[in-house]
Structure 1
């Protein structure tokens, strides 16, 4: 128990220091990347604008929380199938300094969510990641109470009912280049990586407590499955941030929140670095490179590799592993390492090649349990694994 609490404290300290405030808030304040986007005053966006205004004007903490989730539910309904218009064509502008009391709303505002969403929405969703990371750090392998004085089962319910919709919204947000810039401006990549780190550490702790011949409790089995479900969202968002075209080519193994199931879309082939450059505008390519650097500096490659390692251990201990999560992790590694010599060297130094070789040598437990020809995910998994392995090995 003390070890688990120590891990939780470590995660909390690593994610602290990101207050969600704009860079430069201690001195001159910087505005988010321009242009500023506002909800329109017609149709569904007018409803969202009204809900958001009610949320912002409420002082009571509990009522504010309730209104946020009312807004979030409507946001997911309105923008579930949203795609940005003039994708990636908004001009990139550096954040500009504004003086205290100066109105940051300029005359070049975009009315309507055609190319992105209001920055205050993205900021609030980014701050919610920090709350979600704290909750994840409180999960442990016992059935007792956590340091928040809430049962672990209650924490899992809170994360499912409140946290997963936030991540689903961020998956929608990440379809737009403008939104990605704003998300990065608010240290969103660092906070998302901290959440992935916390979930992987918890999954690793639970996996380490298992033995092959042990009859584990349903409670522990559910938490292992729950953490993998959470990581599907997190890794999917990270993949979208790096690869702006990922949502076009596949509906990336996303869980359906309302029905409690998930849909797996057809996988796309990973483009070579040359075709990637050819399909991206200079602005989008600049973001692609910037996102990769941000993920690396936040430790994202380390935790993607560790996640692969933990999933292999689950398979070896005859526990179910989430195939969509494995495929998403491999895809994210591939787009992050393509044409990235610095990332490839780092990947090699942290044992990434060995993890891939382990994956090639041992089929996942899913394949052993489901020997039916209908198990289409198995071949897809190994195709992706070979692609990543080839993508990395070619540079050595």
Structure 2
């Protein structure tokens, strides 16, 4: 452990220098909403959704309005489960008129490239309500003895499931950013991570774990997997557009468009505190691994992928990551859990394939962790890699 800390201290003193792509705060300006206004179509599933939404909006009673909203949400998820946007909103914002200048006749009818802004606003508000429930539960319940309420989980997962669908469209992402959706998602991530951190602090390796603790840990991880997945799509949405589908006439963004969007999205996530809580999430998962609690591998993969995107050719992100102890978290996570290292080597055992699969997952996590570590300490310039430390500069030329 001392060796790991020593290496971490050495790497932490490295500097990204001026090399790389700098992302200015002005690139994260979300003060202008997307100009395109969308409303549901008048036939098929969209007509049904429009009717359900109108009923929800017109309900006088708050409880009835909430009930009708979740009826709408279930239908929304069924209708758009396999939805793929056309053109995906990769249009120049300058080419679109502002929302203020649009008349009712300027609406785009049909959700071919996005969804109505009021739906996205409502979903972002529901995320805020979900965060309040998480915080209230944490302050009033015994984490090791009380189960998370059914309303918190069932309704919360409906909201997050709908958001994952919404994030497939660039237009929707822009609207979500305009309504401070990333800030609200980050607040939810913070609340859930604090929950896991409290549970991890109370657990003992030598003591048995109750079913309620196991259940709460799984539910919090499931919620976090949704949140981290949505943030990952928000930053790397261009990865959804690489599958060619000529029948949809999908507009594929240029490299410059993709780069500009990623820079803008990364700045927004950083300024919302997302990088801080992703690092804390990894720190908590390491602690739970030490205490031999099962951790969602996909959750760790998603968190590392976001960090990779956020640190790649981003000196500001690299410096921030190092300042919050990100390097130590990555280095401390290297190694195998004791339950794998000490497991009996029985070739005929029933758990052999499961152990081999877990070992492969851990190996892949380590490879991704090292890739993030590389992005955090190495700056790129031309055909060279520069590793800058406090004492010397090393350069390796790429073979291209």
Tell whether the structures are fold-level matches, with TM greater than 0.5. yes
- What SS is found at the alignment partner of 2:106? coil
The answer to whether residue 370 in structure 2 is matched with residue 383 in structure 1 is no
Higher relative contact order (CA 8 A, sep 6+): 2
Cα displacement (A) at 1:141: 9.1
Cα displacement (A) at 1:104: 5.5
State the structure with more CA Rg: 2
> Hey, what's the Cα distance between the residues in 2 that align with 1:167 and 1:215?
32
Q: Give the structure 1 partner of residue 281 of structure 2.
A: 307
CA separation of 1:203/1:330 partners in 2, compared to 1, >3 Å: closer, same or farther?
same
Select the residue among 202, 218, 223 that pairs with 1:225.
218
The answer on whether the counterparts of 1:177 and 1:284 sit within 8 Å (CA) in structure 2 is no
Select the residue among 278, 281, 288 that pairs with 2:262.
288
Q: Give the structure 2 partner of residue 176 of structure 1.
A: 169
Once the two structures are superposed, the pairs formed by residues 1-396 of structure 1 within 5 Å of their partners are 32-93=33-94, 96=98, 98=100, 105-140=103-138, 152-153=146-147, 155-247=148-240, 280-363=254-337, 372=353, 373-375=356-358, 377-395=361-379, 396=388
- What SS is found at the alignment partner of 2:115? coil
The answer on whether the counterparts of 1:31 and 1:104 sit within 8 Å (CA) in structure 2 is no
- What SS is found at the alignment partner of 2:295? coil
> Hey, what's the Cα distance between the residues in 2 that align with 1:364 and 1:139?
33
> Hey, what's the Cα distance between the residues in 1 that align with 2:326 and 2:97?
36
> Hey, what's the Cα distance between the residues in 2 that align with 1:41 and 1:206?
49
Q: Give the structure 1 partner of residue 347 of structure 2.
A: none
> Hey, what's the Cα distance between the residues in 2 that align with 1:62 and 1:80?
27
CA separation of 1:195/1:365 partners in 2, compared to 1, >3 Å: closer, same or farther?
farther
- What SS is found at the alignment partner of 1:85? coil
Structure 1 gap segments, 5+ residues each = 1-22, 25-29, 146-150, 251-277
Structure 2 gap segments, 5+ residues each = 1-28, 244-251, 344-350, 380-387, 389-400
Cα displacement (A) at 1:96: 4.4
